Each structure stands twice: as C-alpha cells, then as structure tokens.
Amino acid sequence: MSFFVEIDHIDRTFPLKDGGSYIALKNIDLNVKKGEFVSLIGHSGCGKSTLLNILAGLDKPTQGGIVLDGRQVTEPGPDRMMVFQNYSLLPWKTVRENVSLAVEKVLKTLPKDERDRIVEHHIDLVGLRNAADKKPRELSGGMKQRVAIARALAIRPKLLLLDEPFGALDALTRGNLQQQLMQICEENHLTCVMVTHDVDEALLLSDRIVMLTNGPESHVGQILDVAIPRPRQRLEVVNHPSYYSLRNEIIYFLNQQKRDKKRKQKQIGAIARNGLEKVNLDIGFVPLTDCAPLVVAKEKGFFAKHGLEQVNLSREPSWKAVADGIRTQRLDAAQMLAGMPLAMTLGYADNPRLPVITALVTARNGNAITLKKEFLDRGVRSLSDLKSVLKDDPVTLATVHPTSMHNLMLRYWLASAGIDPDHDLKLTIVPPPQMVANLSAGNIDGYCVGEPWNSRAIREGLGYAIATDLDIWAAHPEKVLGVREDWTNQHPETHNALVKALLEACEYCDDRRNREEILSLMARPQYMGASADYARPGFIDAYDRGTGEAPESLLRFNQFHVDNANCPGRAEGLWILTQLARWEITAFPRNWIEVLERVRRVDVYGRAARELGLPDNEGNRHPFQLFDGKVFNPDDPIGYLNSLEIGRDLRIEEIIIDPVSESHLAIAV
C-alpha cells in the first residue's frame, strides 16, 4: 500500500558548540494517508517542530527521508504549507493582500480573475469578509490566525502543516477556530499534520495521534486511533464513549514521560583507566552454544581492544544463579534470557523489583522442543499428535526459567492448539545442563532448551525435536546482555565498551567461516563443558531433528548479528511483556512504554553501534506475527492479550520502579 506521506526512518542530529552532537529524533517511521489528520503530541523539546520542519522541507534529516505523493521532499515547496503559532503575516499589508501575495507567487500561471476569485473565496472561507481591508494590527489574534489559514489554503497545498496553530489564542477563539479548521479539512479532504500540546484539540481534530517520547533520541512511543465518526461536532466528540479512555491514554503517556525525564539525572562514577570507570568485570553465562559471543570477545581479544583489561567469564549452574549474581552484585553483567531484565524490573515470583536493563541482544533463535523418543515411536510428529497424547498420558515438560523465551514460546505454541500449559500438562523448571539427565531418568517427558542440550539427547537416542523455534517465531530475541540499572548509571563508559566488544564478537560469530574455530574455543572445559560435537547441528552442520528425516540446513538457527539482530527493539520487548502477563509471571505494566524505555536501552545500543560504524536503527515498531498468523500490534498490547484464548486472569498494574534500595539485595528462593 502506498501512502500519501511517508516518513521513512528519520533521524535528526544537531551539532553542538562543544563539538558533540544532540540526537533530537531517532528512527521516526510513520505514514500518513491522503485526507488523514494526524497530530503530534509530546513534551516540550521532544522534537515535534523539528519533525514538522523536516516535513515542510525547511530542515533536513540526518538519516532517512520524506516522500510526499511519491516524490522525495528535499526543500520547501508549494505542495506543503505551514501555519505557525505566531501567524507570520506582513504587518503593512491588508488581509486581502496577505492572502493574495501567496496566491500571486504560487499560482502565477492562472489568469488574474481566477486568482482574485481564489483569494476572495478563502477570505470568505475563514469568515473575514468584513475585515478584508484591515491590516494585522487591527485584527484580534484569532482573526490573524484565520488569515494565516486562508493564506495557507489558498495556494491549494497537498499537505497542511500546523505548528501549534491555536496556542496563542484564548479558549473561546481557539474553540471556534478548531471547529472551523475541522470543517474546512473535512470538506476539502485535506491531509494535515499538526503539532499540539492540547490533548482535547488533538482528540477533536485527529484521525490518529502520534505520541513522541522525550529526547534525546525521541521516537514514536504509541499511536492512538481516534475512531470517532466524521463529520464531528465538539459536543458529540466529548460525549463519544471512547473519548475519555483516549484522553486518559494520552495524559497517561505524558505522565510516564514526565517521570522518565526526572529519572534521567544520572550519577556517574569516576574514570579509572582507559577512559572507563571499571576495567575488570565478572560476567555470568550459562553453558550453551549461544554464549559464543562472550567466549569470542574474551578469547579473540575484543574485550581487551575496548579497554576491558580483565574480564572473568563466570560459568553459572542455572539462570536463577545468574539472576542472583546480578541482584547481589557478585556479577557486573550477564548473558541473560531475553525476558529476564523485564521480569526482574517488574518483579516476578517473590523477587522484589530490581531495575535491570539490556542494551544488546546477543543471540536470536537456537532453541528446540525435544520430546522423549517413545513419543516418536507412537507417531507423535505434530502439535495435534501431542494434544492427542495428553488426553491419556500425564506429561511433564521442562523449560529453563519462568522468564525465558523457552517458557514463553513453548506456552504460546501449546496454547495455539488449545492446550492449556498449566492444566493439560505439567511444566517444570530444570537448568539447561541437567535436561538430558532428567529426560534419561524419566523425570520429564520433554523440554524446550537451547543447544547443545537438544542435539545431545537426539545423538544419544533419548529424544527428537518436534519443533525448533524457527517453526514458531523466526528471529526472536533469545539472549541479551543484562546489567543493573544502577550499574550502568555508575559505569556508562564501561558499559559502552562492553556493548561494543560484544557487538563485534557477535559480528564475528555470524561469519560461518569462523564457526569451527569458535566451536573449538567453546569446547574448552571452562565454557560449554560438553562435547563440541553436540553443538555442531545448526551451528555448523545441518540440523538433525532425530526424526529419521534428512537433516535441514538452518542457516539462521544461531543468529548473532545479521538483520539488525543486536538491537533490543521495544516491540519485541512488548510482546514478551504480554506473555509474562498472560501466564501471570508478572503483572502487565499499565505504564508499558515507560518500562520498555527503561529496560530496553536502544539509546545505549545506538551509541555503541554508531561508534563502531554500524547501523543503529531499532528496526521497526510495525505489527508482526508468530507462526499462527495472529497479528501483534505494538500499539494495542491489551487488545492482543484479550484476543488470546488461553491465559490466566490479566493483572494490569502501574509499576512504579523505585531506584535501587537495600531491599533489592534480598534473594528469593
């Protein structure tokens, strides 16, 4: 579908006098349909006017571009007209002359009488017939703004841009002009983008309201559809059943942003060496194939290259040990499960809330669902086969941690077939290195885990993979780099160096020419602690599911870098939040935008990527779907949750995350 206005991944960075730069807008990606009225709303300084100026061609983006009606916008043009708050009329000209000046300039090819007719028509349109010969000083503020609107409309722009057009007017005048503008837009099918601070104005006039987050790196936080029928009358709009919930949603968004602004006052620690606050780090990991970037960063010298002189990779027995290590500050950082920073921040099980953040996805995909071999002998080859087994047999499946993608995706997969993962079978937690032994002992009937723990069971004839995660959600985030929020605040330069070192290591890991070497590094006893042969499927060799069929070439089974794999995108973080809530692992945060901004640190990632000369785009915030085709719309997570058939009672809570206090050091069992 082609749009009338395409704002294509725009960044705007301003150079600063001290030689630095300020990233005002980051990755703004937005389309506007013909005849649509879109409002931009956000706190002062978030970049609304900058975006409008770029649309007008008065300013240029640093990255990305604008396409209007199929043509790239590079400079101002008569197809766009801007209406400013301060009217910008020529004081020595009358109303008629002000309007006429624009018409003479832009529509000069038209005959004189036609141009005059247009001028008079627009004077009538804004109700200024009796003031046509007056000069601006003889007009009220509202009348001046009507002249500015008449002047803008008279040249028949394709796109009308309005920068707080009624901000300087008293309430009554503002109300009248809003109504008038709305009528004009509706009757003439105008396409408009308006900047406003006024929530009620946005609701009255807009088809969609685009809410921008605070700068730096302001981006689209959420988009609201205002599905109130047109033509609209103010009273009808205010009495519409959706009005107050939409209004609350905007005010709620703005309040979240206000809190975020206050919190961003950082405490920064002193520099120790190499321009870093700390050069010796303890980093936790669990032995799995996808810990490759950590091993590579250490063994191939990426940590040292970035000034991290002494990095100790601490092999942890379980994901719980990783979480505890971060909580107690035994570890500076850890390779974590993708859902862990979000769940730790929200508080899960009996663990108090602890703000933990991630600025890097270190691995995507790499998991499978393994079932005991006996099921294959009974012909269980699909999800529906498994469903039939559940009617007769008590089945226990294991995942590695409540907050892991294994747990969330296994549950999603089961529920898609009408299997309730808490009632129709038993789900339990087992650390990855203990999976095979538990399967072999008959304690569990299957599990979802990363490699090499599926392939080991397959090679040993204990099990087979009924599905890989590529069958469920290809390119899902799997592992992330997690640190405490107070740690990154104290060590911003060290954190940046760590992200850069791992980002380069991820790039190295994705090059398949390096895989044999990486595998030999990981096979060292201090890392994976399992035969390197078990880690070959998917990582180097074709993937053998152990079903008797030919192994498949799964080139993206372990994805470390390509396709913007490393950016901790917010939309996928939001999907994780929905599933944590769906299964009552955490509450769903009413202030989800604030939580995502706080935990998924795209800004920290972006800085590291830029410093390495890599693209720093977040990817996108468009709807996406898993294998079952159900669309996840990142603007409506609650709607998505309500559309899922199996789940627990939804708990929606405002999650106020305090700064770290001593209470966070308590460890839950």
Ligand X SMILES: Nc1ncnc2c1ncn2[C@@H]1O[C@H](COP(=O)(O)OP(=O)(O)OP(=O)(O)O)[C@@H](O)[C@H]1O
Residues of the shown chain interacting with ligand X in the complex, contacts defined by CB under 6 A: 14, 22, 24, 42, 44-50, 215
| Closest CB to ligand X among residues 65, 352 | 65
- Minimum Å distance from CB 216 to ligand X? 7
Q: Which residues does residue 28 pair with via DSSP β-bridges, in sequence order?
A: 10
What count of other Cβ atoms lies within 10 Å of the Cβ of residue 292?
29
| Closest CB to ligand X among residues 41, 128 | 41
| Closest CB to ligand X among residues 24, 283 | 24
Which residues touch 80 (CB under 8 Å, ≥6 apart)?
A: 55, 56, 57, 68, 73, 157, 158, 159, 160, 161
| Closest CB to ligand X among residues 25, 419 | 25
DSSP string, 426-486: EEEE--GGGHHHHHHTTS-SEEEEETTHHHHHHHTTSEEEEEEGGGT-TT-EEEEEEEEHH
What count of other Cβ atoms lies within 10 Å of the Cβ of residue 122?
26
Which residues touch 324 (CB under 8 Å, ≥6 apart)?
A: 330, 667
- Minimum Å distance from CB 84 to ligand X? 11
Instruction: Tell me the one-letter amino acid at 315.
Output: R
- Minimum Å distance from CB 22 to ligand X? 5
| Closest CB to ligand X among residues 22, 244 | 22
Which residues touch 572 (CB under 8 Å, ≥6 apart)?
A: 476, 477
Which run of H or E residues covers position 130?
none
DSSP category for residue 651: -
- Minimum Å distance from CB 48 to ligand X? 4
DSSP category for residue 559: B
Instruction: Tell me the one-letter amino acid at 382.
Output: S
630: nearest Cα among 406, 478, 473, 476: 473
- Minimum Å distance from CB 86 to ligand X? 12
Q: Which residues does residue 162 pair with via DSSP β-bridges, in sequence order?
A: 83, 194
656: nearest Cα among 230, 263, 212: 263
Q: Is 629 helix (H, G, I), strand (E, B) or coil?
A: coil
| Closest CB to ligand X among residues 51, 657 | 51
- Minimum Å distance from CB 87 to ligand X? 16
What's the CA gap between 475 and 510, in Å, rounded?
14
DSSP string, 28-87: EEEEE-TT-EEEEE-STTSSHHHHHHHHHTSS--SEEEEEETTEE--S--TTEEEE-TT-
| Closest CB to ligand X among residues 254, 612 | 254
| Closest CB to ligand X among residues 41, 237 | 41
| Closest CB to ligand X among residues 220, 444 | 220
- Minimum Å distance from CB 557 to ligand X? 43
| Closest CB to ligand X among residues 16, 441 | 16
- Minimum Å distance from CB 143 to ligand X? 24
| Closest CB to ligand X among residues 4, 14 | 14
- Minimum Å distance from CB 24 to ligand X? 4
| Closest CB to ligand X among residues 205, 371 | 205
What's the CA gap between 582 and 648, in Å, rounded?
6
- Minimum Å distance from CB 199 to ligand X? 14
What's the CA gap between 86 and 646, in Å, rounded?
55
293: nearest Cα among 331, 325, 336: 336
- Minimum Å distance from CB 202 to ligand X? 13
Q: Is 652 helix (H, G, I), strand (E, B) or coil?
A: strand
Which residues touch 530 (CB under 8 Å, ≥6 apart)?
A: 287, 433, 452, 456
- Minimum Å distance from CB 456 to ligand X? 54
| Closest CB to ligand X among residues 12, 306 | 12
Entry field: residues in the chain:
669
| Closest CB to ligand X among residues 44, 109 | 44
Residue 420 near residue 440 (C-beta atoms within 8 A): no
- Minimum Å distance from CB 266 to ligand X? 17
- Minimum Å distance from CB 19 to ligand X? 13
Burial tier of 4 (Cβ tally within 10 Å: 0-12, 13-18, 19+): middle
- Minimum Å distance from CB 602 to ligand X? 18
What count of other Cβ atoms lies within 10 Å of the Cβ of residue 514?
16
Q: Is 567 helix (H, G, I), strand (E, B) or coil?
A: coil
| Closest CB to ligand X among residues 168, 523 | 168
Which run of H or E residues covers position 5?
strand 5-15
What are the backbone angles phi and psi of residue 268, rounded to the nearest 5°? Answer: -120, 130
